[in-house]
């Protein structure tokens, strides 16, 4: 079920003393969801530029499942491996060079393939410049869901596509983690948005999030809807899914149209003569999080959470992810 309610963030808490060990959902070797087991591990130590976050909520993404199954982008894997690329929490300690954060601050952060361990844990050590204050309009659960998807959605709309007021934009995969946010950011920039969602429930969701027109991309005719939506052709496509639906979106673009997709979309969009195809990766840093915080606040961003599992049910969360048709995002409740 999609939940759009918010849990108010505690902006500051008194930082509890940091224990020596913590609970974490880790894998001892690559494999299926059952590899995820809750174990006791040492709390990570801090480098001078890092913060220690007492995790409240961890995001669960398809890239986590890829890493659990054997994808090792950082080279040789180290076990036990704690998964989790993003999340929210409160600062529990800061490294000797960190001035921007203090114990108890409510933050959210992004750290891809962190060698010290990810967010499926009670504590995570993250570079301070990949950490930001939780925007006032978000609860802790919602903040924990969006560092990766929020940066990806906003950078797709702004840096990759440079979406402008009154342009016609297709968001393909609009009811997923990145798509539900991209619809709102494209509307924030004043675009007309045609959302290609998944299922009747996905269509209803993206309409509620502000899409001007929404259809089910698994069952409806994308090309004819796009031609009706923009008779002179679509200006820009943000592709969060690939395959035949994407081919139809590309067909609908006008002569100066452009298509952007975050790396990982499969099958990878094929280049076509005369068409600008822009692959990109989400970038996290102080500037990027400041941009995200401004856009989240201006859009009064709504963050659909499809399901929230306790940390000990991380394997169940991965099983649900594998079933697909996730509307918005799956998260782990760590605290």
Out of 118, 144, 262, 304, the residue judged to bind ligand NAP by CB under 6 A? 262
218 touching ligand NAP, by CB under 6 A: yes
Q: Is 241 in the site for ligand NAP (CB under 6 A)?
A: yes
Site map for ligand NAP, 59-98, x if CB under 6 A? --xxx-----------------------------------
Exposure pattern of 278-295 as b/e (b: 16+ CB <10 Å)? beeebebeeebbebbbeb
118 forms part of the interface with ligand NAP (CB under 6 A):
no
What is the full DSSP assignment across 217-241? TTTS-HHHHHHHH-TT-EEEEEESS
Beta bridge partners of 108: 88, 132
Backbone angles phi and psi of 177, in degrees to 5: -60, -50
Residue among 16 and 267 whose Cβ is closer to ligand NAP: 267
Tell me how far, at minimum, the Cβ of 316 lies from ligand NAP, in Å: 17
Q: Compare residues 44 and 242 and give the one whose CB is closer to ligand NAP.
A: 242
192-197: strand order across its sheet: 213-216, 192-197, 168-172, 234-239, 253-262, 276-280
**Residues 210 and 230 sit within 8 Å (Cβ to Cβ):** no
Query: Minimal distance in Å, beta carbon 276 to ligand NAP?
Result: 18
Between 133 and 262, whose beta carbon lies closer to ligand NAP?
262
Out of 94, 245, 303, 314, point to the residue binding ligand NAP (CB under 6 A).
Answer: 245
CB nearer ligand NAP, residue 103 or residue 131: 131
Residues 136-165 that bind ligand NAP (CB under 6 A): 148-149, 152
The alpha carbon of residue 104 and the mean position of all alpha carbons in its chain are separated, in whole angstroms, by 24
Residue of the chain from 206, 282, 307, 308 that contacts ligand NAP (CB under 6 A): 282
Distances (CA, A) of 267 to 149, 242, 254, 264: 20, 5, 23, 9
Closest CA to 233 of 283, 194, 184, 189: 194
Q: Say whether residue 326 binds ligand NAP (CB under 6 A).
A: yes
CA 148/CA 87 separation, integer angstroms:
9
Least gap, CB of 280 to ligand NAP (angstroms): 7
Site residues for ligand NAP per CB under 6 A: 61-63, 148-149, 152, 173, 175-179, 196-198, 217-218, 240-241, 245, 262-265, 281-282, 324-326
């Amino acid at each position: 079920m999609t939940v759009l309610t918010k849990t108010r963030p505690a902006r500051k808490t008194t930082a509890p003393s940091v224990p020596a060990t913590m609970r974490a959902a880790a894998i001892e070797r690559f494999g299926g969801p059952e590899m995820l087991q809750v174990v006791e591990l040492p709390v990570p130590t801090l480098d001078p530029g890092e913060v220690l976050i007492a995790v409240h909520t961890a995001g669960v993404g398809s890239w986590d499942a890829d890493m659990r199954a054997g994808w090792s982008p950082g080279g040789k894997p180290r076990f036990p491996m704690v998964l989790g690329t993003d999340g929210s929490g409160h600062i529990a300690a800061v490294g000797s060079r960190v001035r921007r954060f203090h114990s108890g601050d409510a933050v959210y952060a992004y750290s891809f393939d962190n060698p010290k361990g990810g967010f499926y844990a009670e504590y995570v050590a993250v570079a301070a410049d990949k950490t930001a204050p939780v925007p006032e309009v978000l609860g802790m659960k919602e903040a924990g869901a969006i560092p990766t998807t929020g940066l990806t959605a906003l950078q797709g709309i702004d840096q990759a596509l440079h979406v402008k007021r009154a342009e016609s934009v297709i968001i393909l995969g609009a009811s997923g983690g990145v798509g539900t946010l991209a619809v709102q950011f494209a509307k924030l920039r004043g675009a007309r948005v045609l959302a290609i969602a998944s299922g009747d429930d996905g269509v209803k969701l993206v309409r509620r999030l502000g899409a001007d027109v929404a259809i089910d991309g698994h069952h409806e005719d994308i090309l004819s809807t796009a031609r009706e939506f923009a008779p002179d052709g679509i200006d820009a496509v943000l592709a969060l899914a690939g395959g035949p639906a994407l081919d139809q979106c590309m067909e609908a673009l006008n002569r100066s149209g452009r298509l952007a997709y975050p790396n990982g979309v499969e099958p990878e969009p094929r280049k076509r003569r005369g068409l600008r195809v822009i692959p990109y990766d989400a970038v996290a840093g102080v500037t990027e999080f400041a941009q995200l915080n401004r856009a989240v606040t201006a859009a009064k961003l709504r963050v659909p959470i499809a399901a929230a599992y306790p940390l000990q049910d991380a394997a169940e969360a991965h099983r649900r992810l594998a079933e697909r048709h996730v509307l918005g995002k799956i998260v782990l409740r760590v605290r």
